[in-house]
Structure 1
Amino acid sequence: MSFPPVLRGPAFGSYAPDEVGWLLTDLSDVPLEAPTEEREEAVQSGGAHYAESLPQEFQPDESYLQLYHRALATSAGRIAHAVGTVAELILAERGRDVVLVSLARAGTPVGVLLRRWAAARHGLDLPHYAVSIVRGRGIDPVAMAWLAAHHDPATVVFVDGWTGKGAITRELAAALAGSPFDPTLAVLADPGRCTPVFGTREDWLIPSACLNSTVSGLVSRTVLNDRLIKPGMFHGAKFYAELAAADVSNAFLDTVTAAFDQVGPTPPPADRTVDHAGWAAVDRIVDEYGIGDPNLVKPGVGETTRVLLRRVPWRVLVRAGAPADDLAHVLLLAEQRGVPVEEVAELPYSCIGLIHPRYTRGATGADGYAVTGRAR
């Protein structure tokens, strides 16, 4: 079987060519961006899948960028510790010849950091690739075939940034059922309690969640559109080379890598039980707020940020007493978009983003968005 070429920087993406190979199709010249409201209406009406188009890239203002830089400066040490914890778990349990496969794009900076830790602490040169996984469509089968043809599937470790309610861990397990790949997902933060390989289960900010392509190698989220992706092709993505002046991808990596020296022993977490408590919490919120669709509930700091950057947000739930530094950018985005913020006494996450249920463009509701049907 012949395969498409592996994409590498600087021709695709701003990461160094040895840090990641993208198992993706370059769609940089294809106009795929659509206004947020148009995408939301099409997705919720069933007229389109979210992966068929791209959101318009968020361009942060100076106040938001200052929040990002402050968050990175204050959290680099704990991110480095989480990277070390995950890396040591992987090497202890899966061996020293592992192949890192990050889920593009939020997982890709984490895959690079894990690779750097293995090099710095163990002298290893681990292969690292980024692949696409799409909710409801599974992981890219051509990428999986490429990996099976070039590496022992038993050595492949899948990597992501964080878990929300656990939808991607379920998608990965379903897509790889019966295959030679181990679907266990390694993440920095697992507030959803849906994987045994994690750096923390606290729901704190991973600053790479604050931005889009400019902290992820200038690569878009992945695209699966049958008009463009034909049989035998990898899923697609765009390289936003025109945003190079705003790119902080490598600065993010270098800041966290510089904190590796501050990290002492990284024993495995004492409790690695998987109980999917996050999904149970989402089900309660679906019922309480009359949302009807758990896909419209995005729990955790990272997922709430995505709601505010890419979707039509309805409201943000914030846990009473959650660390202010982890929520500063969320509160700023909510204020800028006019999204109500509710403080909730007991949440298993620092915050939860709710996408507007039954959204349609047209007559505007009291909170600035149109609704059809009952949503309270």
Structure 2
Amino acid sequence: MNEPASIGSYASKDVIFLLKDISHAVLEQDTRYREQQMQQGKHYSEMLPIEYKPSEAYMDLFHMSLNKSAKKLATAVGVVSEKVIKNKGKDVVLVSLARAGTPIGILIKRYILQKYAVDLPHYSISIIRGKGMDENALHYILRNHPSKKIQFVDGWTGKGAITKVLTESCNTFEKNYGIALDNDLAVLADPGYCVKTFGTREDFLIPSACLNATVSGLISRTVHRYDLIGDEDFHGVKYYKELRDEDVSNLFVDRISDEFSGAMMEIEKQIQHQLDYKVSWLGWKDIEKVQQQFRIESIHYIKPGIGETTRVLLRRMPWKVLVKKESDPALEHILLLAKEKNVPIEVFPSMHYKCCGLIQSLRGDQ
């Protein structure tokens, strides 16, 4: 029987990873090679980016944005947690989507424990675009918590691709096993207007977007390769113990948890002022506009919002960055990173997001 592996730098009281430890496998490739392989059709979940020790500049960016936005983040956690309680009650299992969803799931769990004295179970599982959710992990949760409702959790929405994968996965799961799952996704920030359970719809930098494994419990992105993952296995991850000295995973969740008490009044105010919960897919309309205007062959080359643009500049092969308004103070780090990497900036005012990162086509068709 599949059992959770003892991996990651979070305490087990915060999260249980339903993931297979494949730390022995050599899967890392440099950015250019990965980009070429993916653009030629290789699936992104079959290889991993190299997990570098974060540079001083990236650590400074992380600490600066955390200090600047800790209270705002705590408020967004409180708002989304209150919505989870209102929609699902207290008999719920939090299921975060590894890896960006994991710290947010921990924060929701901690907020509900502090405010309602209810200790919700929290698991982190894999979801992969083009392959779906880890069904073995879902079966494990349903076996162990047969009477509880599931609440899926992620960090933020970009264009809403994972929201769509989650919906498809839940539909497939019901078709295959006759078990209906609520595909509602709770996120800290929903600038794409593609979920109804969110902390805010403001497009702002969530500091955990600045780093990789070192803010996600020292685990890699999730992996699904048939020579490593059997039919009965959970999807795989690597555990980067060698980055322990750079790990800020617990610092991040502790810093925001410390702000909960002081944010209670603001949380109440935000809940009363948030009247529009409609899912309008505003962001997706922006993406279609960008794709058409810049003649971009694949929608996967377009990464909207501050969090996704930051990740393009840190981890991918950026072609250019579109900004709604260059003078926006929220884009300070985006402009800095783009300048550092010689990535051109273009003002594109007719979009809802504050910025959008475009990935280079390595086939010469851009």
Query: TM-score, normalized by length of structure 1?
Result: 0.91
Shift of the alpha carbon at 1:249? Answer: 0.7
Query: Residue 241 of structure 1 corresponds to which residue in structure 2?
Result: 241
Superposed displacement of residue 104, structure 1 = 0.2
Which amino acid is the alignment partner of residue 352 of structure 2?
Answer: P
- Aligned-pair RMSD on alpha carbons? 1.4
**Partners in 2 of 1:328 and 1:61 — Cα distance?**
18
Gaps of 5+ in 2: none
Aligned counterpart for 2:284 among listed residues 275, 279, 285: 279
User: How far did residue 322 of structure 1 move?
Assistant: 6.3
Question: 106, 115, 120: which is aligned to 1:121?
Answer: 115
1:230 aligns with 2:234: no
What's 1:7 paired with?
5
2:164 matched to 1:166? Answer: no
Deviations for 1:24-61, whole angstroms, at most 9, x for unmatched residues?
00011211100111111111111x10110001124332
1:367: which partner in 2? none
- Deviation per CA, 1:209-256: give whole Å up to 9, x if none: 110010111111111111111110000011111001001111111110
Provide structure 1 residue ranges, at least 5 long, that are not aligned to the other structure: 361-370
CA shift at 1:154, angstroms?
5.3
CA contact (8 A) 2:205 2:307 kept: yes
- Name the amino acid aligned to 2:285: A
CA distance in 2, matches of 1:330, 1:60: 17
TM-score between the two structures when normalised by the length of structure 2: 0.94
Residues 334, 340 of structure 1: 8 Å contact kept: yes
Does the alignment pair 1:29 with 2:24? Answer: yes
Q: How does 1:91-170 map onto structure 2 within 5 Å? A: 91-152=85-146, 155-170=149-164
**Counterparts in 2 of 1:275 and 1:257: CA distance versus 1, 3 Å:** same
Could you tell me whether the CA contact under 8 Å between 1:154 and 1:180 is conserved in 2? no
Letter matched to residue 164 of structure 2? R
Is the contact made by 1:300 and 1:350 (CA closer than 8 Å) also made in structure 2? yes
CA distance in 2, matches of 1:21, 1:120: 19
Report how far residue 344 of structure 1 moved: 2.0
Equivalent residue for 2:315? 310
Between the aligned partners of 2:148 and 2:167, the Cα distance in structure 1 is 15
Q: CA deviation at 1:306?
A: 1.9
Other-structure match for 1:45: 40
Q: Which has more helix, going by share of residues?
A: 2
Query: Identity of paired residues, percent?
Result: 46
Shift of 1:109: 0.3
TM-superposed CA distance for 1:341, in Å, is: 1.5
In the comparison of the two structures, how many residue pairs are matched? 355
- Measured after TM superposition, the shift of residue 153 of structure 1 is 6.9
Structure 1 residue 321, shift from structure 2 partner:
5.4
Deviation at 1:307, TM superposition (A): 1.5
Change (3 A) 1:322 1:202: farther
